[in-house]
């Protein structure tokens, strides 16, 4: 059983919103019809977005750090939005773990959006059904695309490769190794929803130097430079030993 997911590296994300626009572009021109925008060029614009980049400031000036935080559906392994759906429109695909909504079955009762602690569901006000991130399910299996392009639109758009896509159940996959070795973590672990998407933390690359690495033990007088040649009458190492 595989579980496809995104890994988002907060250490690399620069907050450029390329994933947001790319997601919007791909999903608004897909088979499910446009992602609705209302008053896009007017006062109080609002619209449907499956992916957003948020920005947080951590700490107090001058010790602050800016964290850009892309947020989309986490495709939980234990999705609370699925069992509450009265019609079965909301479901989790057993073969690859993608959480999807059947737009033809949804009655728009909003109950699944109440049941998602992350606020990752988007109500389409014109179609009057619930929509959400599909992990570009209409793209990742498309054999007409080159193999390297069978990835979610957001992953392809990211200029810094802050987004990785893969199977988190396969322990040898790139994403699993990243989670394991780079400290990948899920959001709001307190609700035991087991999100498939993981985030890699902000981390600083630094070398730890120890005191004895700065002082050469074999040079106690701390004199650097080319040593003077030995006097001519002194036996050299070659004369003492035959090796």
d(CA 51, CA 122): 10
Least distance to other proteins, CB of residue 62, Å: 13
* Structure-token pair, residue 40: 């896009």
Is 121 or 140 the residue whose CB approaches other proteins more closely?
Answer: 121
Least distance to other proteins, CB of residue 47, Å: 7
Is 68 or 139 the residue whose CB approaches other proteins more closely?
Answer: 68
* Interface residues toward other proteins, by CB under 8 A: 17, 20, 39, 44-49, 52-60, 66-67, 69, 71, 80, 83-89, 105-111, 113-119, 121-123, 125, 127-129, 185-191, 199, 201-202
Least distance to other proteins, CB of residue 133, Å: 13
* Structure-token pair, residue 184: 């990948």
Is 140 or 158 the residue whose CB approaches other proteins more closely?
Answer: 158
Is 62 or 119 the residue whose CB approaches other proteins more closely?
Answer: 119
Is 56 or 141 the residue whose CB approaches other proteins more closely?
Answer: 56
Q: Look up tokens 């947001």; give the residue.
A: 20
Q: Which residues contact 73 (CB under 8 A, 6 or more apart)?
A: 50, 99, 118, 120, 121, 132, 133, 135, 197
Cα-based distances in Å from 242 to 231, 233, 238, 239 = 21, 19, 7, 7
For residue 190, the number of C-alpha atoms closer than 13 Å in the C-beta half-sphere is 3
d(CA 211, CA 58): 32
Least distance to other proteins, CB of residue 11, Å: 12
Quick check: helix, strand or coil at residue 239? helix
Least distance to other proteins, CB of residue 23, Å: 12
């Amino acid at each position: 059983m595989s579980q496809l997911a995104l890994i988002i590296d907060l250490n690399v994300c620069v907050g450029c919103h390329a994933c947001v626009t790319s997601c919007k572009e791909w999903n608004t021109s897909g088979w499910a019809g446009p992602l609705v925008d209302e008053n896009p060029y007017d006062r109080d614009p609002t619209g449907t977005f499956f992916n957003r980049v948020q920005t947080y400031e951590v700490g107090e000036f001058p010790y602050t750090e800016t964290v850009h935080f892309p947020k989309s559906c986490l495709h939980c392994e234990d999705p609370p939005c699925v069992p509450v759906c009265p019609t079965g429109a909301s479901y989790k695909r057993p073969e690859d773990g993608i959480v999807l909504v059947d737009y033809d079955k949804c009655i728009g009762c909003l109950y699944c959006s109440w049941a998602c602690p992350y606020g990752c569901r988007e109500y389409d006000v014109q179609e009057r059904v619930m929509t959400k991130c599909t992990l570009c399910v209409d793209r990742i299996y498309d054999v007409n695309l080159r193999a390297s392009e069978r990835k979610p639109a957001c992953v392809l758009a990211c200029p810094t490769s802050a987004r990785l896509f893969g199977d988190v159940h396969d322990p040898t996959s790139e994403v699993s190794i990243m989670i394991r070795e780079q400290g990948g973590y899920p959001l709001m672990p307190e609700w035991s929803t087991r999100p498939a998407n993981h985030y890699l933390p902000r981390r600083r690359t630094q070398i730890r130097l120890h005191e004895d690495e700065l002082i050469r033990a074999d040079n106690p007088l701390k004199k650097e430079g080319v040593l003077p040649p030995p006097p001519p009458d002194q036996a050299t190492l070659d004369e003492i030993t035959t090796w």
